Amino acid sequence: MSSPTKFVLDESKMPKHWYNIAADLPVPPAPVLHPGTMQPVGPDDLAPLFPMELILQEVSTEREIPIPEPVREVFKLWRPSPLVRAHRLEKILGTPAKIYYKYEGVSPAGSHKPNTAVPQAWYNAQAGIKKLSTETGAGQWGSSLAFAGSLFGLQVRVFQVRVSYDQKPYRRALMETYGATCVASPSNETNSGRAILAQRPDHPGSLGIAISEAVEIAATNDDTKYALGSVLNHVLLHQTIVGQEAMLQLEMAGDDPDVIVGCTGGGSNFAGISFPFIGQQLRGGKKRRIVAVEPAACPSLTRGKFAYDFGDTAHLTPLTKMHTLGSTFTPPGFHAGGLRYHGMAPLVSHLKELNLIEATAYHQTACFEAGVMFARAEGIVPAPEANHAVKGAIVEALRCKAEGRSEVILFNLCGHGHFDMTAYQNYFAGKLSDQSYDEAELAMALSGLPSVPA
């Protein structure tokens, strides 16, 4: 216990560039296709939704993309985030492994999401945009964009899935504290929302519907753009500051990770911690195991098909090649709302196909068990999403114990669970379900994938 616990970088050491893994890929990822023409989309196709700087980042193959100075100034409110050696967890597990976690819960919104919300808001403000629209489920992304919007004077309108809007009022209160407007989706504010409400006035909503509403608002209003919190290349790019910082902090600690673990929903926090390390390997550096941990109830990487699919249920988005459960797939209820997505980021999917990463899946009860062990050892109560990474790290640490190896394990603790205590209550009450997805529904959803000419 006499070795240091936290490795803290001075803010002058905060990375000045994002790392773009596209520069180092041995094979480029499949192009994004326009669903009408089946031809690759160009910048102009995306211009109604995003400012040009973000579109250029989406397709860039430059290795280093500068982080604008005003964005770095905002990051200094909480970045560099701490890297912590989990001494107490190691001791409880009796493992010879060293466990480090990068803690992103120190951000104002409590997760890694502001790492991309802030630059997205800034680039939009620079382009003269006055309003942003987005969707959110449980509210991690919505509250992050609300925070970012408040910094640059952007009005943020968040379409929140109605069932979350009703059941989780605290994240909504957080969005409102940052000055954003939160609307229950489906709403009467859009054609897509009105069409759904006409059929079913008490519709509980879905992320797919909320995306459709947010996209419609952006596409039909010149002063409004759309913002997405994961999946896209530029979003993953913005998260690479996490792994770059971790690399510097592990140098301070005199360690080099053998295994890197992250949870995966859309893929952004996993990409953030791992891409800079994968890039090192691609440029001839150390080979490491990179483990993506996903929920067994929504297992796109481990059970999905690598194919072209839509990003939303209403089929308004372009087609991207990714691991997908099918855009109509509905996972059973579980508490890691941030991991309930039918697809996986195209870049993460591509790395999986190249065998540069591994993937594994766990049910939520095992993940909460890991999270509670972590909280009692290290103090921090992880978000339900982050519990998947904790579980993955503990599995690796116990493997090291069994094999007598003192490997170095790094995982991304991507957020705290302060707004998710209902999930912990349910866990303690024995009310968590480990229900699996419906195999027939998965088969049905996969059978509906769009057919794309080879």
Residues that bind a copy of itself (CB under 8 A): 1, 4-6, 8, 10-12, 70, 73, 76-78, 84, 87-88, 106-110, 114, 147, 150-151, 169-170, 173-174, 176-179, 372, 375-376, 378-381, 416, 418-419, 421-422, 424-425, 428
Considering the complex, state which of residue 360 and residue 426 has its C-beta at the smaller distance from a copy of itself. 426
Residue type, 405: R
Considering the complex, state which of residue 358 and residue 369 has its C-beta at the smaller distance from a copy of itself. 369
Question: Measured from the CB of residue 421, what is the shortest distance to a copy of itself in angstroms?
Answer: 4
Question: Measured from the CB of residue 176, what is the shortest distance to a copy of itself in angstroms?
Answer: 6
Question: Measured from the CB of residue 109, what is the shortest distance to a copy of itself in angstroms?
Answer: 8
Question: Measured from the CB of residue 376, what is the shortest distance to a copy of itself in angstroms?
Answer: 4
Considering the complex, state which of residue 379 and residue 453 has its C-beta at the smaller distance from a copy of itself. 379
Lookup result for tokens 């995982």: 411
Question: Measured from the CB of residue 84, what is the shortest distance to a copy of itself in angstroms?
Answer: 7
Considering the complex, state which of residue 306 and residue 368 has its C-beta at the smaller distance from a copy of itself. 368
Considering the complex, state which of residue 186 and residue 338 has its C-beta at the smaller distance from a copy of itself. 338
Give a three-class secondary structure readout of the chain. Answer: CCCCCEECCCHHHCCCEEECHHHCCCCCCCCCECCCCCCECCHHHHCCCCCHHHHHHHHCCCCEEECCHHHHHHHCCCCCCCEEECHHHHHHHCCCCEEEEEEHHHCCCCECCHHHHHHHHHHHHHCCCCEEEEEECCCHHHHHHHHHHHHHCCEEEEEEEHHHHHHCHHHHHHHHHCCCEEEEECCCCCHHHHHHHHHCCCCCCCHHHHHHHHHHHHHCCCCEEECCCCCCHHHHHHHHHHHHHHHHHHHHHCCCCCEEEEECCCCHHHHHHHHHHHHHHHCCCCCCEEEEEEECCCCHHHHCEEEEEECCCCCCCCEEEEEECCCCCCCCCCCCHHHCCCECCHHHHHHHHCCCCEEEEECHHHHHHHHHHHHHHHCCCECHHHHHHHHHHHHHHHHHHHHCCCCEEEEEECEECCCCHHHHHHHHCCCCCCCCCCHHHHHHHHHCCCCCCC
Question: Measured from the CB of residue 147, what is the shortest distance to a copy of itself in angstroms?
Answer: 6
Question: Measured from the CB of residue 318, what is the shortest distance to a copy of itself in angstroms?
Answer: 33
Considering the complex, state which of residue 79 and residue 323 has its C-beta at the smaller distance from a copy of itself. 79
Question: Measured from the CB of residue 12, what is the shortest distance to a copy of itself in angstroms?
Answer: 8
Question: Measured from the CB of residue 164, what is the shortest distance to a copy of itself in angstroms?
Answer: 14
Considering the complex, state which of residue 82 and residue 295 has its C-beta at the smaller distance from a copy of itself. 82
Considering the complex, state which of residue 61 and residue 177 has its C-beta at the smaller distance from a copy of itself. 177
Give 125-130's long-range contacts (Cβ < 8 A, gap of 24+). 125/152, 125/153, 125/154, 126/51, 126/53, 127/51, 127/52, 127/53, 127/225, 129/51, 129/154, 129/223, 129/224, 129/225, 130/154, 130/155, 130/223, 130/224
Considering the complex, state which of residue 231 and residue 381 has its C-beta at the smaller distance from a copy of itself. 381
> Phi and psi dihedrals of 110, rounded to 5?
90, 10
Question: Measured from the CB of residue 137, what is the shortest distance to a copy of itself in angstroms?
Answer: 18
Considering the complex, state which of residue 106 and residue 197 has its C-beta at the smaller distance from a copy of itself. 106
